Amino acid sequence: MPAPSLPQNWSPLDEQAITYARALAADAVQRAGNGHPGTAMALAPAAYLLFQFHLRHNPHDPEWIARDRFILSCGHSSLTLYTQLLYCGYGLTLDDIKSFRKLGSKTPGHPEFGHTAGVETTTGPLGQGIANGVGMAMAARFERGLLDPHAPKNESLFDHYIYVLASDGDLQEGVSAEASSIAGLQKLHNLIVIYDDNDITIEGDISLAFREDVDARYRAYGWNVLHVATAQDGSVDITALHTALLTAKAQSEKPTLIRLKSVIAWPAPKLRGTSKSHGAALGKDEVAATKSALGLDPEKDFQLPNEILTHVRKVSDRGRGLHDQWSTQFTAWQQANPERAANLHRMISGTIDSSILNQITADFSHDKEISTRKASGDTIQRISQLLPEFWGGSADLAESNNTTIEGGGDFLPENPYGRIIHFGIREHAMGSLMNGIALHGGTRIFGGTFLVFSDYMRPTARLAALMNLPVTFVWSHDSIGLGEDGPTHQPIEHCAALRAIPGLAVIRPADANEVAIAWRVILASNKPAALLLSRQNLPVFNRSQFSSAEGVARGAYIIYEPREKPTGIIIATGSEVSLAITAAESAASEGLHLRVVSAPCIEWFNEQPEEYRKSVLPDSIKVRVSVEAGIAMGWREFVGDYGSILSLDHFGASASGPELFKEFGFTPENILAHVRKSITSVRGS
């Protein structure tokens, strides 16, 4: 450890700035009537020290690629971040702090990515932020491998740190354990977590629910653990924290956990150190008493003297200076590395040139049956040749999910730039890491497991959607078709449950060529997407006989049209599309003229112009049947009042896939029985 010291240039104005930040937190919650004052008051010195003296950032350009990232994992303490963003000049004003938690404000209850400049990720669900941080630290390493692989550690112009401020709740959540385990294994020395060890959660003292040896646990993960006790008066010991941060940055082998002792709501005379100050306004009197304790005027709210604001805003000039220096180096790097620079340009822009995308083609031959998971694996190989920034892996099911990049190399400390991530059997962390990687930017990430275990990732899929992140979930073994593993492994409600997440494209391709096009659309869209893939082999449609797989881009399309004007429509997804086509083909002999619509992605279909949607599903055709080996939820909207839904509204069973399809009525014959049922309904109407 270096000798304890305050940062160079630390001045009394810095002390005062912290004092005002504490009071602003108390005032903002008091004015809003609700919120979380205690932690923001207590952590103001820690956040101030980071934003003013440690983070390499430029508030004039929150997107600067080489910036250090800061994550407030304990998102409930959002004022911890908002006051620093105000101080640094990220565009927040005192009025924004006054409108904390109000409709349309830039200061919502929890920090929201994409809503407030300087917020690197949406936090609130505890545990996610720290896991996002692990993902960001991995992305930083992988990105440097693409851009500047030979620079010594910490000497590349692309090197940067990921700082996380986390609370007890973050460390109690299982996802942080999964993610921290990965961080230790990966030796992410660029990750520094400050753990606000305040002994308090909502229900009271930490001993009610958390008695483990956190040091031993984190050391066992392979972390460097440092301690910072409170200062004598109970406030955060800035000198000790500064020293710990320097020590953490000097670390080149391990992530660091700094256990920072703090007193929640310090220095509120009555409520400090109590759980009452966690999630409620302190009350007028206590706020006034706190201000008196801080040496501020107890009568005045939202105090921030110009002298203080001017002082703290200087950080943005320093940031601009750092950025300018960096830009000079960057220009030289671009000149010396034109190919890498061109890649970087694409990586940052989030758009992939059509000349690249168009090389992802629907050229699977119809001679041979192939599972959609295998088709996805083949497509992944093709994409990985086109895009060096494309990487990913699986939660120990790479062989099953077909998520390996051949020759990509394992991403490990001994092979730091490998393209294949072994997330281990840690689905929840995998999702959070994927989000962190996407948030970091620069690379394109995918991750796989069985669809049934998407339940273990659901919070992360929701957050990916909320933040509109370009992550691709590869979920194979998508139905009872997986067979003998039985009901524990057979997704039933998952398609519907995932479709319920706003903004997540859920894609269940019908054949190999639909898979290829789906991947292309996903890459072009730069948005969250989930691929639901079959374990079992499926026929590859002869596209000279059926319409082109390019229809996938429209979400649903007419794949089979009868010779005569259709009088009924079968709408199906994934492995059930071929059954629907067989049914429609055989129905012609009965005088039934049935159109088949392949509907791989309801979300994309709903985005189409009405004219297109009506051309696929015309109002005039009331005879409709939906076919999906999952629950009925969602299909009534497409089949209408007279339609019939062929679904599976109970759990599966252990038997072969073909047997189960038969047993549960997923056969061409039963599809036609449903068509007749719909005809009867229409006639009776």
Tell me which residues touch ligand TPP (CB under 6 A): 39, 74, 76-77, 124-126, 167-169, 173, 198, 200-202, 264, 278
Per-residue tokens: 474: 């590869």
Strand partners, 571: 597, 626
Query: Minimal distance in Å, beta carbon 169 to ligand TPP?
Result: 3
User: Nearest 5°: phi and psi at 107?
Assistant: -125, 65
Q: Which does 237 bind (CB under 5 to 8 A by kind): Mg ion, ligand TPP, none?
A: none
Peptide bond between residue 267 and the one before it cis (omega within 30 degrees of 0) = yes
Q: Which helix (H) or strand (E) holds 308?
A: helix 306-336
In the complex with ligand TPP, the residue whose CB is nearer, 74 or 438, is 74
Per-residue tokens: 653: 């069973």
Instruction: By CB under 5 A, tell whether 197 contacts Mg ion.
Output: no
Per-residue tokens: 22: 């504490």
Residue with smallest beta-carbon separation from ligand TPP: 169
Catalytic-residue membership of 628: no
Instruction: Give me the DSSP letters along 610-679.
Output: HHHHHHHS-TT--EEEEE-SS--TT-HHHH-TT-EEE---S---SS-HHHHHHHTT-SHHHHHHHHHHHH
**Cβ contact 243:2 at 8 Å:** yes
**Cβ contact 504:498 at 8 Å:** yes
Q: Which does 76 bind (CB under 5 to 8 A by kind): ligand TPP, Mg ion, none?
A: ligand TPP
Query: Minimal distance in Å, beta carbon 272 to ligand TPP?
Result: 12
The letter for the amino acid at 165 is: L
Q: Which does 202 bind (CB under 5 to 8 A by kind): ligand TPP, Mg ion, none?
A: ligand TPP
Which one from 112, 389, 427, 514 is the annotated catalytic residue?
427
Measure the CA angle with vertex 292, ends 290 and 297; round to 5°.
115
In the complex with ligand TPP, the residue whose CB is nearer, 131 or 529, is 131
Rounded distance, CA 451 to CA 475, Å?
A: 4
In the complex with Mg ion, the residue whose CB is nearer, 80 or 454, is 80
Residue with smallest beta-carbon separation from Mg ion: 168
Instruction: Give me the DSSP letters along 180-209.
Output: HHHHHHTT-TTEEEEEEE-SEETTEEGGGT
- Pick one of 200, 244, 265, 451: the residue that binds Mg ion (CB under 5 A): 200
Rounded distance, CA 481 to CA 369, Å?
A: 15
Per residue in 414-434, is it b (16+ CB within 10 Å) or e — as a string?
Answer: eebbbbbbbbbebbbbbbbbb
In the complex with Mg ion, the residue whose CB is nearer, 30 or 167, is 167
Query: Minimal distance in Å, beta carbon 424 to Mg ion?
Result: 28
Instruction: Report the side by side order of strands in the sheet with 162-166.
Output: 69-72, 162-166, 191-197, 256-261, 224-228
User: Nearest 5°: phi and psi at 180?
Assistant: -65, -35
Instruction: By CB under 5 A, tell whether 173 contacts Mg ion.
Output: no
Query: Minimal distance in Å, beta carbon 415 to ligand TPP?
Result: 34
The residue range among 182-190, 198-206, 379-387, 457-465 that interacts with Mg ion, by the rule CB under 5 A, is 198-206
Query: Minimal distance in Å, beta carbon 168 to ligand TPP?
Result: 3
**Cβ contact 625:595 at 8 Å:** no
Site string for Mg ion, 131-170 (x = CB under 5 A): ------------------------------------xx--
In the complex with Mg ion, the residue whose CB is nearer, 199 or 659, is 199
Instruction: By CB under 5 A, tell whether 198 contacts Mg ion.
Output: yes
Query: Minimal distance in Å, beta carbon 428 to ligand TPP?
Result: 11
Query: Minimal distance in Å, beta carbon 644 to ligand TPP?
Result: 41
Which bin fits 49, alpha (ψ -120 to 50), beta or left (φ > 0)? alpha
Strand residue runs (E) in 397-438: 420-422
In the complex with ligand TPP, the residue whose CB is nearer, 41 or 182, is 41
Q: Which does 73 bind (CB under 5 to 8 A by kind): Mg ion, ligand TPP, none?
A: none
Measure the CA angle with vertex 388, ends 382 and 391; round to 5°.
80
Query: Minimal distance in Å, beta carbon 670 to Mg ion?
Result: 56
Q: Is 413 helix (H, G, I), strand (E, B) or coil?
A: coil
In the complex with ligand TPP, the residue whose CB is nearer, 2 or 174, is 174
Closest CA to 159 of 258, 69, 254: 69
In the complex with ligand TPP, the residue whose CB is nearer, 78 or 647, is 78
In the complex with ligand TPP, the residue whose CB is nearer, 123 or 316, is 123
Strand partners, 505: 529
DSSP 73: S
Q: Are strands 370-371 and 537-538 parallel, antiparallel or unpaired?
A: antiparallel
Query: Minimal distance in Å, beta carbon 239 to Mg ion?
Result: 23
Q: Which does 39 bind (CB under 5 to 8 A by kind): ligand TPP, Mg ion, none?
A: ligand TPP
Query: Minimal distance in Å, beta carbon 268 to Mg ion?
Result: 16
Query: Minimal distance in Å, beta carbon 506 to ligand TPP?
Result: 24
In the complex with Mg ion, the residue whose CB is nearer, 42 or 682, is 42
Which bin fits 456, alpha (ψ -120 to 50), beta or left (φ > 0)? alpha
In the complex with ligand TPP, the residue whose CB is nearer, 210 or 417, is 210
Which bin fits 264, alpha (ψ -120 to 50), beta or left (φ > 0)? beta
Rounded distance, CA 478 to CA 451, Å?
A: 6
The residue range among 101-109, 175-183, 199-207, 358-366 that interacts with Mg ion, by the rule CB under 5 A, is 199-207
Active site residues: 427
Q: Which residues contact Mg ion (rule: CB under 5 A)? A: 167-168, 198, 200
